[in-house]
Structure 1
Amino acid sequence: MWNDPIVEETRRLRDEFAKKHNYSIRAMVAELKQWEQEGFPLPRRTDQENPSAQCSDSDCTAAAQRSRAAGQ
């Protein structure tokens, strides 16, 4: 079966978020509400965390190009 890397990453991040809050839906909702009040600030990735930021346009994947275009 084929695995989509974006889906895999989304599932991993979802589990990390839930684990961080001890799988408490109340704690997760409280953090999400606070995040909403702050205007949904996103953490910036460093080039080390995001190796696709270093690639040239000719060898980047479409996802990496979209990421750069969105300013991430």
Structure 2
Amino acid sequence: MDESGFSHDTPRTHGYSPKGHRCFGLKNWGAKGRTNVIGALLGTTLFAIGLFDCNINRDVFYVWITKILAPRTS
């Protein structure tokens, strides 16, 4: 099993503008948000995938084991 997270938005560090002009952005690329994923791998098969819009702590991990992983391994 493994846990990983993905940002909803990634800040941009570079942009384009005419030479001699300042580069301005139109979007808030610094917006926050993250989805965390927990999944299990059996051989080459990925299963029991859970998506969470919160930080993974022991309570969330326990819910993943009891509600997602255990029913799929019975």
TM range (shorter): under 0.3
TM-score normalized by the length of structure 2: 0.25
- Which protein has the bigger helix share? 1
User: Could you say which structure has the larger radius of gyration?
Assistant: 2
Q: Which has the higher contact order (CA 8 A, sep 6+)?
A: 2
